[in-house]
Amino acid sequence: MATQMALPAEGQAPPQWIRILPLGRVELVDHREPLTVDEDSLKSMVAAFHSRGVDVVIDYEHQSLQGERAPAAGWIKQLEARPDGLWARVEWTTQAREYLANREYRYFSPVLGLDPESRKPTVLMHLGLTNLPAIKSLPPLVAKAESACRPAGTGAPAALGAGRATEKEMESMDELKGLLGLTPEAGESEVALRVLDLFRELAEALSLAGEASPSQLKGAVAALKAGAHRFSEVQEELKALKERQAQESAAQVVAEALQAGKVTPAQKDWALEYYRQDPEGFQTFVARAPQVVPTGEIFELLKAEQGGGLSPEELLLCQALRVSADAYLKAKAQTG
C-alpha cells in the first residue's frame, strides 16, 4: 500500500519526519477493503517497534520482500503515535536524498501486519520508496509538504531544506517530555493528554473551572502574584509599626524610671537599650532598684539643705557623704 510522502521543493533535502498512516479510515485505490487506524493500532505499532529493538528499513520498491539485493533508502529511527496518525523519524541515505530531491521517487509504501478480523494495522514491518500510491484522495504534494514536515499541533510549517528547524522542534519536544515526566518514547498523544491534565490541575488549584482558557489561568496567576506582593507590603508595614511601638514603649518606660529616680539621666541610653533587648528584665530591675536620684519633695529638701548649683546626683552624694554643698563645690573645683 503506497502513500504520498511530503517532499520539499526540487533540489532540497527530504523531510526528517513523515506521517506513515493517518488516523481513521484509510481508503485504497485498488478496491481492497479499507484499513482502520485507531489509537489502539497506533499504540500496537509503536510497542512492536520498541520491542524489536532495531531500526525499520526503508528500501526501494519492496525489494526486501523479493529475496533480492535490497539496498536501504533509509532507516526509521523513531516511531510516534500522534493525534493525527503514525509518524516516523527517518534517517535517509545519500542516494535516497538525491532521488527524493530530484523527484525520481515521490511516494512510500508501508508493509503492515494486520489484524485479520478488524483490518487494523498492528505492526509496521518496513517501508518501500515507490511511485505507485494506493491511498485514495491524496492531497497535492505542496500541501502535503507544508503539513507533514512538522509535528502535529504546531503552527507555522518547519523550514524545509537542511532540516535544522525540524531537529530543533524535536529537541524541544524531548525537553517538553522531560518536563512532563514522560519517557523519550512517549508519543504526542501522551504529551497532549499530560498537558491537558496539567491545565486542569492548575485550573483546580486556582479555583477555576476545568475548561478554563489560558487567558483565565494567566489572569488568576497574576491576581495571586498581586496578592502576594500586597501581602509582602503589609508585612513590611506591620514590622515598621511594631518597631515604632517598641521605641515609643521603651521611651515611656525609661521616662517613668527617670521620674522615679531609679535611673540617672546619664544612664538613659543604657536603659533604652536594656529595655529594647529585654523589656521584662528591665521592668524587674526598675521595680527592685533603689532610688538613686532625688525626686519631688526629697529633691527640694536637699536643695534647701545643701544649696543650689548641684545636680540631683550630686545633691544625693552630698547627703550620703554628709558634706555641705559648699564643701563639695570647693573639692570639685580643686580636683577639676
CA gap 124, 86 in Å, rounded: 10
Confidence of residue 317 (pLDDT cuts 50, 70, 90): low
Pairing of strands 107-114, 85-92: unpaired
Pairing of strands 56-60, 121-130: parallel
181 Cα distance to chain centroid: 13
User: What is residue 141's predicted lDDT score, i.e. its pLDDT?
Assistant: 26
User: Which of 65-74, 118-127, 223-232: highest mean pLDDT?
Assistant: 118-127
Q: Which residue has the higher pLDDT, 209 or 95?
A: 95
Confidence of residue 1 (pLDDT cuts 50, 70, 90): low
User: What is residue 259's predicted lDDT score, i.e. its pLDDT?
Assistant: 74
188 pLDDT above the threshold of 80? no
CA gap 132, 138 in Å, rounded: 12
Q: What is the mean pLDDT of residues 281-304?
A: 67
Tell the burial category of 236 from Cβ atoms under 10 Å away from its Cβ (0-12, 13-18, 19+): exposed
Phi-psi category of residue 103: left, alpha or beta, with phi > 0 → left and psi -120 to 50 → alpha: left
CA gap 29, 6 in Å, rounded: 19
Backbone angles phi, psi at 4, to 5 degrees: -75, 140
Sign of the alpha-carbon torsion through 320, 324, 328, 329: positive
User: What is residue 197's predicted lDDT score, i.e. its pLDDT?
Assistant: 78
Q: Which residue has the higher pLDDT, 75 or 164?
A: 75
**Among 294, 297, 336, CA closest to 318:** 294
User: What is residue 124's predicted lDDT score, i.e. its pLDDT?
Assistant: 93
Which pairs count as long-range contacts for 210-213, CB under 8 Å and 24+ apart, including other chains? none
Confidence of residue 295 (pLDDT cuts 50, 70, 90): low
Confidence of residue 146 (pLDDT cuts 50, 70, 90): very low
CA gap 17, 90 in Å, rounded: 6
User: What is residue 211's predicted lDDT score, i.e. its pLDDT?
Assistant: 66
User: What amino acid occupies position 42?
Assistant: L
134 Cα distance to chain centroid: 47
pTM for the predicted model, two decimal places: 0.42
CA gap 235, 240 in Å, rounded: 9
Name the residue ranges covered by the structural domains of the chain: 3-152, 226-288, 296-335
| pLDDT tens, residue by residue, 125-134 | 988 888 776 6
| pLDDT tens, residue by residue, 80-93 | 999 999 999 989 89
User: What is residue 94's predicted lDDT score, i.e. its pLDDT?
Assistant: 92
Q: What is the mean pLDDT of residues 289-302?
A: 58
CA gap 170, 188 in Å, rounded: 11
Is residue 45 within 8 Å of residue 125, measured between CB atoms?
no
272 pLDDT above the threshold of 70? yes
H or E segment at 321?
Answer: helix 312-321
Is residue 76 within 8 Å of residue 58, measured between CB atoms?
yes
Q: What is the mean pLDDT of residues 106-124?
A: 87
Q: What is the mean pLDDT of residues 162-169?
A: 46
CA gap 311, 332 in Å, rounded: 13
User: What is residue 152's predicted lDDT score, i.e. its pLDDT?
Assistant: 38
Q: Which residue has the higher pLDDT, 316 or 15?
A: 15
* Residue recorded with cell 491524496: 138
CA distances, 121 to each of 80, 129, 133 (Å) = 15, 19, 18
Mean pLDDT of the chain: 74
Is residue 18 within 8 Å of residue 82, measured between CB atoms?
no
329 pLDDT above the threshold of 80? no
